[in-house]
């Protein structure tokens, strides 16, 4: 698979380097009236989130009614402000998506009772990507052992490798042990956290036997190698621009490519190319979003290493990567892929604008204005709603935790056939030490 990864890396690095940073942005421009209507919908959605989080003080069960209030508010926001088709939220894919996304936190908490709502939310972002790929690839949208394992695996390993308190020697030693385990070797874990990580690898092995699905494990090794390479960016030492984009492309591309192989076991070359590119785009979006934290920690990315040069150029290049991904979505031609292609076409560019809105002083006035005119919201109004959510962050985390507790309580017992398939511990067992 190394040759394939090298080819995909070079392809998207070439797209990045060949993008015209001065080209006009795509998409229609919104008027002030349209912005005002969208901002009213955003404010109404935040109102519902605040109201539900304040309701925690009543200590009464939230029940399915509270979930439905939040979902209904999101559906109105998505349709009226983001331009989604209501049929996509109420059509045949809606039920399986909701059931699968509810199953994930239940299984995750049973695997590791010490996981917090914030931990599970972090892992659920990857689970959502996997479910989207199930839809694109024409697979059944469902929760699977491999989906749970991979979605938890890289939050565990990312958090360990990104922990500034852990020395580089211990991180490299962990990387070697994990690499050997991903190759199928028998490795003794160094501690309880590694034991959890290795057990997640075993969960993937049970769903995808190595002899029949070698690409699954080749892709897991590819993202592992990219993670290890990215450790060099945490030293604070100067890194040239070519290395920065190569690492971002490899780390992001391989992570979502692994998602694709975990969904289907095999991919066509066109599907692998599009999925790899989606991972690159999502990595760049995250790097833009995390710019201040990365800069403070001495982590080099194509955004944090701008050295005062402004963000117009790397943002334009990231949008070019997104356009390349959208242009390749036609390779997913199943009937259930159509609504997901449309949602992605509307959403991907907006995620970059949303991240950029946090750094208005790092853009030229002209470029920021062009981004804002193509965003559903004026950036100042978006920042105001973000501040409301930030003030309520503790309550919202509590809301997620309460929902999680209620979902687990209402779920079937852990000794049913589904949990035996997942090989999860019974909830009456004491939690493993962290």
CATH, residue 243: 1.10.600
Residue 247 near residue 299, CB atoms below 8 Å: no
The CA radius of gyration of the chain, in Å to the nearest whole number, is 22
Q: Can you give the pLDDT at residue 64?
A: 73
Count of structural domains within the chain: 1
Q: At what angle do helices 63-80 and 32-54 cross, to 10 degrees?
A: 170
Instruction: Give the range among 35-49, 195-209, 348-362, 403-417 with minimum mean pLDDT.
Output: 403-417
Please state, in angstroms and as integers, the Cα–Cα distance from residue 29 to each residue in 85, 377, 378, 421, following that order: 20, 11, 12, 50
Mean pLDDT of 187-203: 92
Q: Is residue 430 a part of any domain in this protein?
A: no
pLDDT of 430 higher than 50: no
The answer as to whether 295 is a domain residue is yes
**Strand, helix or coil for residue 83:** coil
**What is the pLDDT, as a whole number, of residue 222?**
93
Please give the residue that has the higher pLDDT: either 424 or 265: 265
pLDDT band at 54 (very low <50, low <70, confident <90, very high): confident
**Residue that the structure tokens 């309460």 belong to:** 402
Mean pLDDT (whole number) for 393-422: 61
pLDDT at 290: 92
Q: How far apart are CA 244 and CA 264, in angstroms?
A: 31
Nearest to residue 135, comparing CAs of 263, 306, 280, 15? 263
427 found inside a domain:
no
The pLDDT tens digits of the residues spanning 80-97 come to 999 999 988 887 888 898
Contact 118, 397 (CB under 8 A): yes
Q: Which of 171-175, 317-321, 358-362, 387-391 has the highest mean pLDDT?
A: 317-321
Per-residue pLDDT for 301 more than 70? yes
pLDDT at position 246 is 96
Is pLDDT above 80 for 400?
A: no
pLDDT by residue (tens digit) across 239-271? Answer: 788 999 999 999 999 999 999 999 988 899 999
- Would you place residue 300 in the very low, low, confident or very high pLDDT band (cuts 50, 70, 90)? confident
As a whole number of angstroms, the distance between CA 84 and CA 76 comes to 9
pLDDT at 420: 47
Burial class (CB within 10 angstroms; exposed 0-12, middle 13-18, buried 19+) of 384: middle
DSSP string, 119-171: HHHHHHHHHHHHHHHHHHTT------HHHHHHHHHHHHHHHHHH-TTS-HHHH
Residue 337 has pLDDT above 70, yes or no: yes
- What's residue 432's pLDDT? 32
Q: Which residues contact 263 (CB under 8 A, 6 or more apart)?
A: 130, 133, 134, 137, 139
* Lookup: tokens for 25: 């942005």
Handedness of CA 26, 316, 223, 96 (dihedral sign): negative
Distance CA 24, CA 38 (A): 24
Residue 144 lies in a domain: yes
Residue 310 domain-assigned (yes or no):
yes
pLDDT band at 59 (very low <50, low <70, confident <90, very high): low
Any domain includes 76: yes
Separation between Cα atoms, residue 346 and residue 299, nearest integer Å? 31
Per the domain annotation, does 69 fall within a domain?
yes
Most confident range (mean pLDDT) of 16-25, 65-74, 159-168 is 16-25
pLDDT band at 426 (very low <50, low <70, confident <90, very high): very low
What distance in Å separates the CA atoms of residue 216 and residue 183, rounded to the nearest whole number? 11
**Is the CB of residue 202 less than 8 Å from the CB of residue 185?**
no
- pLDDT surpasses 70 at 428: no
Q: pTM of whole model > 0.85?
A: yes
Would you say residue 261 lies in a domain? yes
Q: With contact defined as beta carbons under 8 Å apart, do 13 and 245 qualify? A: yes
Domain that holds residue 211: 2-22+30-422
Phi, psi for residue 398 in degrees, rounded to 5: -60, -35
- Please answer whether residues 179 and 224 qualify as being in contact, where contact means their C-beta atoms are separated by less than 8 angstroms: yes
pLDDT at 311: 96
Q: Are 139 and 271 in contact (CB under 8 A)?
A: no
Q: Quick one: CA dihedral 6, 215, 129, 275, positive or negative?
A: positive
Distance CA 161, CA 171 (A): 6
Q: Show contacts of 291-297: CB within 8 Å, 24+ apart.
A: 291/359, 291/362, 292/359, 297/164, 297/234
Phi, psi of 431 (to 5 degrees): -65, 145
How long is the chain?
434
Q: Which tokens is 120 given?
A: 């599970």
């Amino acid at each position: 698979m190394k040759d394939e990864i090298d080819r995909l890396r070079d392809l998207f690095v070439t797209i990045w380097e060949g993008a015209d940073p001065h080209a006009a942005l795509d998409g229609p421009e919104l008027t002030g009236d349209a912005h005002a209507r969208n901002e009213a919908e955003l404010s109404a959605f935040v109102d519902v989130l605040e109201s539900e989080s304040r309701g925690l003080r009543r200590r009464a069960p939230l029940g399915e009614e509270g979930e439905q209030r939040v979902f209904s508010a999101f559906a109105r926001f998505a349709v009226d402000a983001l331009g989604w088709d209501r049929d996509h939220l109420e059509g045949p894919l809606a039920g399986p998506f909701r059931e699968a996304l509810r199953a994930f936190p239940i299984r995750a908490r049973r695997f590791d009772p010490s996981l917090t709502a914030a931990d599970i939310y972090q892992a659920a972002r990857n689970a959502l990507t996997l479910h989207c790929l199930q839809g694109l690839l024409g697979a059944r949208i469902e929760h699977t052992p491999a989906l749970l394992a991979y979605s938890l695996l890289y939050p565990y390993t990312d958090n360990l490798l990104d922990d500034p308190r852990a020395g580089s020697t211990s991180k490299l030693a962990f990387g070697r042990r994990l690499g050997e385990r991903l190759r199928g070797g028998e490795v003794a874990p160094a501690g309880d956290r590694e034991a959890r990580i290795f057990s997640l690898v075993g969960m993937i092995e049970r769903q995808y036997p190595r002899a029949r699905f070698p690409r699954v494990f080749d892709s897991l090794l590819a993202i592992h190698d990219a993670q290890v390479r990215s450790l060099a960016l945490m030293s604070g030492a100067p890194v040239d621009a070519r290395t920065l984009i190569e690492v971002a492309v490899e780390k992001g591309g391989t992570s979502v490519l692994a998602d694709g192989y975990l969904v289907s076991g095999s991919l066509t070359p066109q599907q692998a190319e599009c999925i790899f590119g989606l991972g690159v785009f999502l990595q760049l979006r995250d790097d833009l979003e995390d710019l201040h934290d990365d800069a403070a920690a001495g982590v080099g990315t194509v955004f944090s290493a701008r050295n005062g040069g402004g963000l117009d150029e790397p943002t334009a290049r990231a949008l070019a990567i997104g356009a390349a991904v959208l242009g390749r979505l036609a390779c997913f031609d199943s009937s259930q892929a159509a609504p997901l292609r449309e949602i992605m076409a509307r959403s991907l560019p907006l995620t970059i604008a949303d991240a950029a809105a946090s750094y208005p002083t790092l853009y030229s006035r002209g470029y920021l204005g062009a981004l804002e005119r193509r965003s559903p919201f004026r950036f100042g109004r978006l920042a105001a709603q973000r501040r409301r959510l930030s003030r309520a962050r503790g309550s919202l985390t509590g809301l997620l935790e309460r929902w999680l507790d209620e979902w687990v309580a209402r779920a079937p017992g852990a000794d049913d056939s589904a949990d035996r398939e997942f090989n999860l511990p019974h909830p009456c067992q004491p939690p493993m030490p962290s």
